[in-house]
Chain A
Amino acid sequence: MKRCADCVIVAFLLCWLMVSGCARNGVSDSEAAKQLFEETSTDYHFAAAEAKGSERERLLKKAAAGYRKLLRKYPKETSWCAQSLRSLGNVRAEQGRFEEAISTFEDVGKRYRDERWEVIQALKSAGDLCRNKGSSDQAREFYVRIIEEFRDAEAPMMKTIVEAAEKALSVM
Chain B
Amino acid sequence: MKTKSILIAMILVSTALTAPIALARVSLVTLPARDSVQLTIYNAEDITMVREKRFLTFKKGVNNLEFSWANTLIDPTSVEFRAITHADKIEVLDVSFPPRVTNTLEWHIASEADGEVQVEIQYFTSGISWAADYVGMANGDQTMMDLGGYVRVNNNSGEDYDNAQVRLVVGVIRLVEKIRDLAQQPPVVRAEEFAKRRVRLAGAVERAERKKDLLEAAPEIIKEGISEYFIYTVEGRDDVKTGWSKRLSSFTAKDVPVTAYYRYDERRWAQNAMRYYKFKNNEDSQLGNEPLPDGGVRIFRTKDAEGLLSYVGQTRVKYIPINEDVEMELGYDPQVRVEGKLMDWRKDRIHFGHKGNVDGYDQHETWTFEIQNSKNIPIEVDVRRHFRGDWGMKTDDEYEKIDANTVKFVRKLNPMEQVSFTYTVTTCTGANERK
Q: State the A residues within 8 Å of B (CB).
A: 38, 41-42, 45-46, 48-49, 83, 86-87, 89-91, 93-94, 101, 113-114, 116-117, 121, 124-125, 128-129, 131-132, 153-158, 160-161, 163-164, 167-168
Are the CB atoms of A158 and B100 closer together than 8 Å? no
What are 20 A-B pairs at a CB distance below 8 A? A38-B70, A41-B101, A42-B4, A45-B102, A46-B70, A48-B100, A49-B101, A90-B98, A90-B101, A91-B99, A116-B192, A117-B76, A117-B191, A121-B97, A125-B97, A125-B99, A128-B97, A129-B99, A157-B95, A160-B81
Are the CB atoms of A157 and B103 closer together than 8 Å? no
Closest to A155 in B: B77
In the complex, what residues of A have CB within 8 A of residue B101's CB?
41, 45-46, 49, 90
Residue B96, interface by CB 8 Å: yes
- Pick the contact of A153: B70, B105, B192 (CB < 8 A): B192
Are the CB atoms of A114 and B94 closer together than 8 Å? no
Kindly identify, within residues 185 to 207 of chain B, every residue whose CB is under 8 Å from any CB belonging to chain A.
186-188, 191-192, 195-196, 198-199
In the complex, what residues of B have CB within 8 A of residue A113's CB?
188
- Pick the contact of A160: B95, B98, B99, B187 (CB < 8 A): B95
Are the CB atoms of A114 and B187 closer together than 8 Å? yes
Are the CB atoms of B80 and A156 closer together than 8 Å? yes
In the complex, what residues of A have CB within 8 A of residue B198's CB?
155
Take A128-B22, A164-B95 as given contacts and tell me if A155 and B195 are in contact as well, using a CB distance cutoff of 8 Å.
yes
In the complex, what residues of B have CB within 8 A of residue A49's CB?
100-101
Are the CB atoms of A124 and B93 closer together than 8 Å? no
Residue B6, interface by CB 8 Å: no
Closest approach, in angstroms, between the C-beta of A68 and any C-beta of chain B? 15
In the complex, what residues of A have CB within 8 A of residue B4's CB?
42
Are the CB atoms of A164 and B71 closer together than 8 Å? no
Closest to B193 in A: A154
In the complex, what residues of B have CB within 8 A of residue A125's CB?
96-97, 99
- Pick the contact of A116: B95, B97, B188, B199 (CB < 8 A): B188
- Pick the contact of A168: B94, B98, B99, B187 (CB < 8 A): B94
Docked CA distance A41–B80 (Å): 25
Residue B179, interface by CB 8 Å: no
In the complex, what residues of A have CB within 8 A of residue B70's CB?
38, 41-42, 46
In the complex, what residues of A have CB within 8 A of residue B309's CB?
none
Closest to B81 in A: A160
- Pick the contact of A158: B2, B23, B77, B102 (CB < 8 A): B77
Closest to A119 in B: B188
In the complex, what residues of B have CB within 8 A of residue A161's CB?
95
Are the CB atoms of A157 and B2 closer together than 8 Å? no
Closest to B67 in A: A157
Take A41-B70, A132-B22, A164-B93 as given contacts and tell me if A154 and B99 are in contact as well, using a CB distance cutoff of 8 Å.
no
In the complex, what residues of B have CB within 8 A of residue A48's CB?
100
Q: Which 8 A-B pairs have the closest CB atoms?
A: A155-B77, A90-B99, A49-B100, A93-B99, A155-B195, A114-B187, A156-B80, A164-B94
Docked CA distance A99–B426 (Å): 96
Residue B113, interface by CB 8 Å: no
Take A38-B71, A41-B102 as given contacts and tell me if A157 and B79 are in contact as well, using a CB distance cutoff of 8 Å.
yes
In the complex, what residues of A have CB within 8 A of residue B196's CB?
154
Take A41-B102, A48-B100, A167-B94 as given contacts and tell me if A157 and B23 are in contact as well, using a CB distance cutoff of 8 Å.
no
Docked CA distance A158–B192 (Å): 11
In the complex, what residues of A have CB within 8 A of residue B100's CB?
48-49, 90, 94
Q: Write out, one digit per residue, whether chain B residues 374-389 have a CB within 8 A of any chain A CB (1) or not (0).
A: 0000000000000000
Closest to B190 in A: A114
Are the CB atoms of A157 and B96 closer together than 8 Å? no
Closest to A161 in B: B95
